[in-house]
Amino acid sequence: MSDNPTTLDRRTQRSWFRRITTRLGAENIGLLLALVAVITFFGLMSPQFLSMDTFNSVAFQLPELGLLTLAMLMPIIAGGINLSVTFTANLCGLTLAWFLHVNGGPEAGVLAFVVGSVLAVGVGTATGLVMGPVIAYTGAHPILVSLSMMIFVRGLGEFLTRGADISGFPDFIQPLGHGSIWGFPIPLLILLLAVGAWHVLMGRTRLGFSNYMIGSNIEATRYSGIPTRRVVTWIYALSGAMCAIAGIIMMARFNSVRVGHGESYLLITVLACFLGGVNPFGGFGKVVSVFLALIVLQLLSSGLNLLGASQHLATAIWGIMLVAVMILRWAAGQLTFLRIKR
Amino acid sequence: MAKVRIPQLLRANPTETWLVIVLLLITIGMSLSSAQFFTVANLFNLLNTSSVNLIFAVGLLVVLIAGGIDISFAVAASVVQYVVATLLAKVGGGDWVSGLVLGALVGAALGAFNAALIYYFRIISIVVTIATFNIFFGLLMFFTKGVSIYNLPDWWIHRTMLIEFQQANGAWADLTLPVAIMTACVVATWVLIRHTSIGRQLYAFGDNPEGARRLGINIAAMHFVAFGWLGLMAGIAGVAQVHYTQQVVPNALAGRELDVLAAVVLGGARLGGGRGTVLGCVLGVLLISVTQNALNLLGISPYAFKMIVGAVILAAITLSNAPLGKMLAAIRARRST
Amino acid sequence: MAPVPVLSLANINVTFGGVKALQNVSFEVLPGEVQCIAGENGSGKSTLIKVISGVYQPAPGAEIAIGGSAVSAMTPVAAHHAGIEVIWQDLALFPEMTVAENIGIRQVLGAVPHLINHGAMRTVARDALARLGADLDIDAPLRTFAIAQRQIVAIARALAGEARIIFMDEPTSSLTRSETDRLLDIVRTLSAHGVAVVFVSHRLAEVLEISSRVTVLRDGTLVGVYPTEGMTQSRLTELMTGKTFQTTVRTRDNAAAQIVLAVEGLSRPGDYEDVSLTIRRGETVGLTGLLGAGRTELALSIFGMLRPQAGSITVGGKKLNARSNRDAIAGGIGYLSEDRLALGLIQQQSIADNTVITVLDKVLRAGLISGRKKDALVRGWIEDLAIKIGQPTDAISTLSGGNQQRIAIAKWLAVGPRLLILDSPTVGVDVGARAGIFEIVEKLAAEGLAILLISDEVPEVYFNADRILHMAAGRIVAEYDPHTVTLKDLEAAVYG
């Protein structure tokens, strides 16, 4: 592995390349290349692709998936998973809808909306406050705990709504799903705020730091004086709270709440995390990379839509993309391995 | 050595014993509160409704024992239904045998696809199967445009009864063909994992992959056997399921994978590999169907089923991971520490 | 006439990416002998075993003979047929399977599927255990057994494979003394039955006790094969490292210094009983005893991770009633775990993150972690302890054992402790690098840190501690002053 540069030129080139890769991270470079590839491809295929329409379709569709992915991200980094994100979002939306209905339905005031939203966030947090301690204290597998929570939350929602759509909300919540501020879509703004909050939370706070460490080795983290059980509880609580925000946005976008809305997003959120370079075993993964992965996924879907293909083809291509990316990572690993061996 | 000591049985199979006790309690309680519960008709009904899930479950059990996980099998079964329906329509209808064989082959091929990705590119199974879930489902919905097939051969949709008779109270009790298929699948899986060398290798591999490799167990073969077997079972389950719905609906099975997973794990299989029995797996599935059946007979709103089942599984997982004593100790330690 | 070796190797060369892991090594095993392979980490011990068991192929020109007849190439299957069995350090057993299935696993191997005979498997298991004089419930899952019993299962599995040579890779590293004695008895039994046993062990006392010959490797080359008759530990250390170590007992008088740690009547039934001890400023107190004596449990109690049932712990004059290790850390206690890989450091994560994990509140700016503060803190410690690293962002696992241990020490020094507990600080650290660790310990003591040095290697505490406490069966049974006791007497007292 000794460094034997043959020419000065090569060495400067390499250091220039390395500077960029370390600044951006190899993960993000790959994703940016994918982004450029997607934009170029659809830009060439369809003249309408590079337009405000595409931007708007991405901007209004991305937030639901994006917020749910953020809810999925932190538990995965902790070495766990939260399979209840989509139905928790539904249940939180339901909480808000119920509170608005109690307070006059379409005539409900802003205060009712605010209190209802707080209640919704409370419900989301509560699911996390059940799962977190069960995982942290009993050592039960997060897949199982969150899976049974998913079944429970789905059942509770269906029990409360009898499978029906709940609608009839005050008009002022419409902008949350459809409105713009100075031409900038509000849902996207909320997503960007959430991404920013998660970026700071995961990258700059003790909770976030501890979360990465727990994902790699929870016992060694506990030996280092980190309150691991408390951290795990917080992580799932925050995940639940983020579901609530997703649920509120979904309610505003569909102008209704139904248990099962966004159900198909569940596995897509996991897919987006892995695509964004999150380690399936936990311990590694960056919010920004996951956000880039989300944009790639959504652009792909919007582009295909423009070409007349269905969302289902996009779903299939998302799956193929994940496999392709994992194979590329494997190939890159093989290359480094061979280079070290040589 | 033919004598089996009861305490040893308990120690060796705590989950199974526990499930049997709960099932017995429900049965006794329900027999007292509902006249319909403990009848042949209801028993047959239970078997009819759980057979597809049981076939899925024993397949998934094999993958879990080998230390993997699979999210894609239910949509794979939907793919199988379509392929079988389409191909058989071309050759003039086929029959049960050709349908099942074709379904099993297509299912096994889809399973092998998962295995190949996992083994050759060293991608963990949850990532691969989430990807293939999307690939299978997306392509299926794309090519079918979400349209169901109603025009199916007679053998497939015409209810084939194994046993059929009228009870004293006038209700008909019938046992359908998929129950026989399910029984065959359960027995085959039991023989595979309990009595063949390959099955024991699967346990060893799931338990300690590195140890298995050093002993010379063929790791590639283990992947293909485990995921191939699940694919096989999923294919058969797909063919059997059409017998009940009498049509092929492309998105009918998507979403069922997580319910089956919950049932199998409730039956004592361990995520991470090496542990799990066919008996426990069957009991896990039955416990959930019996609970639903009991709630139904008690006149509880069907919308409450899932909620109660979810709460039961959550409680079961919590309790089985933390026996009461350990949990109390933890709480006490926390209070005093 | 010399007996024909059951296994002989000559001219073995193995190269990994330009690094010569084994260079022209030869090795032989006589029937029924007990031999030992000794060498530091990286000396080529495990590579040699992997060549013998067929996992690695040596370069062309290698000569391998089994029972006097030449073999062209070793494969795992060929090794097994030749009666060569390896008991790996991790045992490579299957915890979820029963004892019988673990021992009889060979019955279920093979690519051709076949039905298995559970009865025959149990018979094989029972016979193999009987040969070892062990009585285990063969139908119980292996996970219900302690490590020592699992080791017996691993040996039984090797015997069931008709072994003629059994290699044991660090077999005693997690056994208590009585368990080790039991194992050594089994080794003698095997040897008496004509099964040769080759030990790979870093515990020199055991090496000398059990084996008749020792093969010493260093840097991938053969140093020599020596009879253990008349061999001493220090001579063996010299052969392994190629260096001579000047060791002297420390002299420092701390009798008047302020008491940092006072433990009184501490008890936790089953782990330790009625323990009292004090450590003063600048004092290094050695705590030695055999594995299972309760040393680590005592340390974990002082560190707030195991709750004692009776007694008191006073740190710096203040009573410590720790609800968790966070209270102990706040009280000024650092604890270097004996298990660096699993508990001491987070191997996958970066050097920097591992260093600051204990002092996150010191790198905050406005409530958020400051990259600059973190960087400064990490670089400071790396310089202070002369740690050789690539980049602070590299994973801990890229460092050598010695440098990893320095990071593990740094992360506890960063909290500014009054008391540092070092639990077996040289485990997995090369003999050559150990001196460096103890130089740091010496320096810290001179700066006034109180140190509790725990080790089951008696010479380690003898040469590095001011006072030595001997712990046995959960109690502190004696206290020694290295100036008034000889190493030999101390070893005799501890190893009994």
Is the Cβ of A164 closer than 8 Å to some Cβ of chain B?
no
Task: Name every residue whose Cβ is closer than 8 Å to that of residue B247 and which is 6 or more positions away in sequence.
Answer: B148, B149, B150, B152, B157
Look over chain C and give the mean of its residue pLDDT values, rounded to a whole number. Answer: 87
Predicted pLDDT at C81:
83
Q: Give how far Cα B49 sits from Cα of B166, B293, B304, C483, Å.
A: 19, 10, 19, 82
Predicted pLDDT at C72:
81
**Whether residue B284 has pLDDT greater than 90:** yes
A188-202, B8-22, C352-366: which has the minimum mean pLDDT? B8-22
Is the Cβ of B137 closer than 8 Å to some Cβ of chain A?
yes
B334 CA: distance to closest CA in chain C (Å): 8
Among C96, C112, C121, the residue to mutate for chain B (most B Cβ within 10 A)? C96
pLDDT over 90 percentage in chain A: 54
- The model's pLDDT over A16-35, given as tens digits with 9 standing for 90+, comes to 666 666 666 777 888 888 89
Predicted pLDDT at B306:
83
Predicted pLDDT at B64:
96
Among A21, A223, A284, A286, the residue to mutate for chain C (most C Cβ within 10 A)? A223
| Cβ contacts of B270 on chain C, cutoff 8 Å | 96
Dihedral angle over CA of A110, A112, A116, A117, nearest 10: 10
pLDDT over 70 percentage in chain B: 91
Model ipTM? 0.85
| Nearest CB partner across the interface for C109, out of B216, B270, B333 | B216
Predicted pLDDT at A99:
94
Look over chain B and give the mean of its residue pLDDT values, rounded to a whole number. Answer: 87
In one letter, which amino acid is B176?
T
Of the pLDDT bands very low, low, confident and very high (cuts 50, 70, 90), residue C79 is confident
Predicted pLDDT at A1:
36
| Nearest CB partner across the interface for A206, out of C346, C347, C360 | C360
- The model's pLDDT over A44-62, given as tens digits with 9 standing for 90+, comes to 888 888 888 888 888 888 9
Whether residues B197 and C88 touch (CB distance < 8 A) is answered with: no
Q: Which helix (H) or strand (E) holds A106?
A: none
Among A83, A144, A313, the residue to mutate for chain B (most B Cβ within 10 A)? A144
- The model's pLDDT over B258-270, given as tens digits with 9 standing for 90+, comes to 889 989 988 888 8
- The model's pLDDT over C169-220, given as tens digits with 9 standing for 90+, comes to 888 776 766 777 888 888 888 888 889 999 887 777 777 788 899 999 988 8
Predicted pLDDT at C245:
66
Chain A: residue whose CA lies nearest to B260: A147
Whether residues B304 and A144 touch (CB distance < 8 A) is answered with: no
3-state secondary structure of A183: coil
**Whether residue A72 has pLDDT greater than 60:** yes
Three-class SS of chain C: CCCCCCEEEEEEEEEECCEEEEEEEEEEECCCCEEEEECCCCCCHHHHHHHHCCCCCCCCCCEEEECCEEECCCCHHHHHHCCEEEECCCCCCCCCCEHHHHHCHHHHCCCCCCECCHHHHHHHHHHHHHHCCCCCCCCCEHHHCCHHHHHHHHHHHHHHCCCCEEEEECCCCCCCHHHHHHHHHHHHHHHHCCCEEEEECCCHHHHHHHCCEEEEEECCEEEEEEECCCCCHHHHHHHHHCCCCCCCCCCCCCCCCCEEEEEEEEEECCCEEEEEEEEECCCEEEEECCCCCCHHHHHHHHCCCCCCCEEEEEECCEECCCCCHHHHHHCCEEEECCCHHHHHCCCCCEHHHHHHHHHHHHHEECCEECHHHHHHHHHHHHHHCCCCCCCCCCEHHHCCHHHHHHHHHHHHHCCCCCEEEEECCCCCCCHHHHHHHHHHHHHHHHCCCEEEEEECCHHHHHHHCCEEEEEECCEEEEEECCCCCCHHHHHHHHHC
- CA–CA dist B134, A312 (Å, integer): 9
**Which one is predicted more confidently, B264 or C496?**
B264
Whether residues A316 and B137 touch (CB distance < 8 A) is answered with: yes
Is the Cβ of A226 closer than 8 Å to some Cβ of chain C?
yes
Among B1, B191, B214, the residue to mutate for chain C (most C Cβ within 10 A)? B214
Predicted pLDDT at C355:
95
Whether residues A144 and B271 touch (CB distance < 8 A) is answered with: yes
C326 CA: distance to closest CA in chain A (Å): 5
**Whether residue B56 has pLDDT greater than 60:** yes
Average pLDDT over residues B160-180: 81
Predicted pLDDT at B112:
97
| Nearest CB partner across the interface for B314, out of A152, A319, A320 | A152
Whether residues C335 and A223 touch (CB distance < 8 A) is answered with: yes
Please give the distance of CA B106 from its chain centroid, rounded to a whole number.
18
Q: Count CB atoms within 10 A of the CB of residue A263.
A: 16
pLDDT over 70 percentage in chain A: 90
Q: Which of B312, B118, B310 is nearest to B231 (CA)?
A: B118
Residue whose tokens read 């519960």: B37
- The model's pLDDT over C138-158, given as tens digits with 9 standing for 90+, comes to 988 898 888 888 888 998 898
B317 CA: distance to closest CA in chain A (Å): 7
pLDDT over 90 percentage in chain B: 48
**Whether residue B292 has pLDDT greater than 50:** yes
A53-57, A305-309, B158-162, C165-169: which has the minimum mean pLDDT? B158-162
Average pLDDT over residues C264-285: 93
Predicted pLDDT at C170:
80
Of the pLDDT bands very low, low, confident and very high (cuts 50, 70, 90), residue C477 is very high
Q: Which of A189-203, A296-310, C187-201 has the highest mean pLDDT?
A: A189-203
**Which one is predicted more confidently, A75 or C116?**
A75
pLDDT over 90 percentage in chain C: 42
Average pLDDT over residues A64-72: 96
Of the pLDDT bands very low, low, confident and very high (cuts 50, 70, 90), residue A200 is very high
Of the pLDDT bands very low, low, confident and very high (cuts 50, 70, 90), residue A8 is very low
Of the pLDDT bands very low, low, confident and very high (cuts 50, 70, 90), residue B325 is very low
Predicted pLDDT at B116:
97
**Whether residue B330 has pLDDT greater than 60:** no
Of the pLDDT bands very low, low, confident and very high (cuts 50, 70, 90), residue C252 is confident
Predicted pLDDT at A188:
93
| Nearest CB partner across the interface for B274, out of C96, C119, C139 | C96
| Cβ contacts of C343 on chain A, cutoff 8 Å | 219-220, 223
- pTM, entire model: 0.87
Predicted pLDDT at B2:
42
**Whether residue A124 has pLDDT greater than 80:** yes
Average pLDDT over residues C34-38: 91
Residue whose tokens read 């479950």: B57
Q: Which of A71-80, B249-258, C38-47 has the highest mean pLDDT?
A: A71-80
Chain A: residue whose CA lies nearest to B140: A312
Q: Give B228's strand partners.
A: none
| Nearest CB partner across the interface for A322, out of B127, B265, B327 | B127
Whether residues B138 and A154 touch (CB distance < 8 A) is answered with: no
C118-127, C191-200, C287-296: which has the minimum mean pLDDT? C287-296
Whether residues A158 and B306 touch (CB distance < 8 A) is answered with: yes
**Whether residue A10 has pLDDT greater than 70:** no
| Nearest CB partner across the interface for A217, out of C346, C358, C369 | C346
Among C85, C87, C88, C94, the residue to mutate for chain B (most B Cβ within 10 A)? C94
Interface of B with A in 114-133 (CB under 8 A): 117, 121-124, 126-128, 130-133
Look over chain A and give the mean of its residue pLDDT values, rounded to a whole number. Answer: 88
Of the pLDDT bands very low, low, confident and very high (cuts 50, 70, 90), residue B337 is very low
Chain B: residue whose CA lies nearest to C154: B211
| Cβ contacts of A270 on chain B, cutoff 8 Å | 126, 130
**Whether residue B74 has pLDDT greater than 50:** yes
Is the Cβ of A56 closer than 8 Å to some Cβ of chain B?
no
C188 CA: distance to closest CA in chain B (Å): 26
